[in-house]
Every structure is written in structure tokens, then in C-alpha cells.
Amino acid sequence: MNAELKLLAFDFGASNGRGILGKFNGRDLQMEEVHRFPNDPVQIPDGLHWDILRLFHEIKQGILKCATHGNSDLAGIGIDTWGVDFGLLGKSDELLSNPYHYRDKRTYGMIEEACKRIDKISLFSKTGSQFQPFNTIYQLFSMVLNDSPVLEIGQTMLLLPDLFDFLLCGEKATEFTIASTTQLYNPLQNEWAWDVIDTMGIPRHIFTSITPAASIRGKVMPTVAEELFITQAPIIAVASHDTASAVAAVPYKSRNAAFLSSGTWSLIGIETERPIMNPKALEYNLTNEGCIGGTFRFLKNIAGLWIIQECKRFWDKEGTVESYDQLTQRAQRAEAFLSFIDPDDEIFYSPGNMPEKVQLFCSRTGQPVPQDKGAIIRCVLESLALKYRSAIEEIEETSERNIDMINIVGGGTKDKILCQFTADATHLPVTAGPAEATAIGNLMAQAIALGEIHDISEAREVIKSSFPTDEYIPQNADSWDEAYGKYKMLVTDRV
């Protein structure tokens, strides 16, 4: 390439969103955060929603900041978000309602209701997807059962990154990696699971065509370009699911390494050429989700740092505000292996008084109850590390692959105690970084779509040369083995 390529990535998480300007010279990638904004769900009488128009306004503000700071010549714009959530458009392409939040209560009991129409074995054999109450299938099925007028008049369903793309460029399609989070996608046929859709009573016409990750969706509409003082930059369907973007940025050092995308959710798994859909995968509730290049992430979905984030949120509201670093320091001083939780227990699914929920879990399972902040945080961190070990064992058994190290990416890499605990609990060396993996993967997907990088392997070489990593060596094996034995008595990972 002859000139520096300017690319803008929007990365949406559960609590905030960011606009990241990337500058790529063909060898190295440099990044600058140009815009950051909160992403708070809104509770109204009919349920918990995303404030989608506010979020789109923030996308515009991020683009405008680029333009007003001398970067109006963007070569591409890409957007990634969490999975499963969607908006419905009407016959004139109007947005019919604010999209629901995946933690909204309307999906409670929907897995059981859906399985009255199609059993779990059949559903898994057609989708290869985990059973989680927030999946798109159960959101739509709840609308079917409740005779939703929005679903009745809806003409097009767009998952959130595709909805944002549409609002920028006017093109309607569904990107592969985000489609794979719905439990309505057939990975063996690379198509929507039409028989499942029909069985659930979901109207076929709301689904769009599925397009590959790292492909150009369209160009910024002239009216939008004029409003924001930019050229008609290409809108690129990156790996639109945030975890797919994060995994694209994993700087693997071993062919047998596992990835761990660590943030609000922990996604731990391996990359495979084809989906793994055997009985053990169903038994352990493992899932197959898409990657750039048409490969798959075979992974376990774990609650992640959500519990700690909610603990901090609750303590902050009480008026005892402490940083994450201060809470981690408290945890380091707390007693080791006092008690454990199952991070995926339903008690931790919804927001609320999370410290009390941790205490309730310990009490009802006959364990010592952690009494202060440090003990509670240590309990959560140790439990997460032990959950990772359990997931690694399940993945090894199911895939018949021996994992020899773990690559952690995402915000969780900043939590050094959790990284060390992960190495200790799993007895595997850990490479941590880059922390901004999702934005990096988004930017690299744009470079691939524009032909500046050949494929994901070349992208990962760029990432290795551009971003440092930290190394963690396993310690205290006997103590962690003893703790794991106690933990396994509390937790079973079965569908």
C-alpha cells in the first residue's frame, strides 16, 4: 500500500461503546480512541430495552469527531456488538420498536416452551448452538407465543451490528458471525435453519441473506456523509459479533492453544475448521460460532466479569466507591479458597444486589459466607478460574484435542490476578493480550475486506508485531487441584 489507511471501528459492549481510529501502514497498526459513550439499558413498563437511537447518535458523533480532527478521508467503517439482539423494520424500513435487551424477562421459560415443539437433540443437530435463554430464537419465540403486533407487521429482522450498518448505508443483510449466535443458523449448510424457524412459527420473510465476515456492505449514504463531513466511506461487515472480532486478534503461539475472550462474558474455546456437533457437545452445552474465513469458534459461554461489575455497581450506589484495582488489592489480601460459586447459576443472571447473591449461593451450598469486599471478589475470581479449567476439560474431551496453552484477550487481561489464577487453575501457561482485541479484530477485518491484508493469518502477524503481551506461568498446582475437587462437587455443566 502507498498511503496510510484510516479505518474507524465501533465496538459496543454491555456497558459502553467506543469509536477507535486505526491507522495502518501495511506493517503496523496504531489506534486512537476518538469517542467513548455509555451504553445503559432502559427499563420501561413493557421490558428492558437498548436505547438504539441514542447509540446511533453516538456513532455519528464518533464519525464527526474524526472529520473535525482531520480524518474525514476514512477508508472504512466497521461495527461490532454483542450477539443475539435485534431490531425489526416495517414495510417502509422504519424501526418498529427499540430492541429488547438480552437480559429482559420475556425469555424466561422459553427454552422449555420451545422444546415442546422441537427436542434439544434435534435442535442441536440442526444448529450446533448452546442453550441460553437470551438466544434470538427464544426472543422471537416469546413474540410468537404472545402474538406480538410488532412481529406481525415486521418485514425485516436485523441483528444489531447489521441494523447500525443499515442506518449508515441503507443495505440490509446479516453477517455470518452474528447470525451464528441466534440458534437459528445451520452451520452445516451455511444457511438459516429454515425447518427450525418454521417449527417455532417465526415468519420466514423477516430473515435476510447471510454474507461473509470481512466483506463490504455498502457505502455511507450521501445524506449521512454530508451531515458528518466525510467521504462516502465503505461500510464493512467485519466479524460483527464482538467475540469473533476479539478472537480474530488472538496472537496464537501454538496450534493447540485455546482462546479466552475475557470481559463481561468469558468465552473460552478453540478454533475449528468445521463445527463440532456430537452428543458430548450438547451434554456440556458447548456452542459453535463463526469466525472470519468461515471457520468456527467451539466454545463455552461463561458469565465472566459481569458478577464483579455488578458488585462494584452495587457498592458504588451505596456510596463506597472503589476502583477495580482497589477491589483486586482487597481480593489479594483475602483468604484463599474460602468458598466458591458457579458463575453461571441463574441467581447471577439478572442485575441487582450481586454481593448478596454471592453470599446467598455460598450459604445455600453450605460453605463459609464471604463477609467483606475482598472475600467476595476473591471468591468470584477463583471460581471463574476453576470454571475455565472445567471448560478446558470439556472442550478437550469433546474435540479430542490436547490444549497446551491459553491466549487471553480483552479487558480481562488487565486483571493480573485473574490471569495468574487462570494459569494456576488450569496448569497451563497463559499469554495475555492484546486488551483491545475486539477493536483490533474489527480494524483488521476492514483491512482484509479492502484487500490490504490477504487473510486472518497475515492479520495476526501484524497484531503480533504491533501489540505486546504478558506471560503467566502456572503455580501452586497442589492447592488448586484440591480447590478444584471441592468446586466440582458444587457445579455440573449439563444441559
Enzyme catalytic residues = 242
What sign for the dihedral angle of Cα 199, 200, 201, 203? negative
Contacts of 175 (CB under 8 A, 6+ apart): 159, 161, 162, 210, 211, 212, 213, 215, 237, 238, 239, 240
H or E element that contains 287 = strand 287-290
Identity of the residue numbered 206 = I
Cell output for 90: 416495517
Task: Find, among 40, 45, 76, 31, the residue nearest to 58 by Cα.
Answer: 40
Annotate 26-51 with b (16+ C-beta within 10 A) or e (fewer): eeebebeebbebebebeeeeeebbbb
Strand, helix or coil at 370? coil
On the CB side of 360, how many CA atoms lie within 13 Å of its CA?
11
Helix and strand totals (H; E) in the chain: 19, 21
The answer to whether the beta carbons of residues 96 and 88 sit under 8 Å apart is yes
By the 10 Å C-beta count (0-12 exposed, 13-18 middle, 19+ buried), 349 is classed as: middle
Cell output for 266: 468469558
How many whole angstroms separate alpha carbon 486 and alpha carbon 490?
7
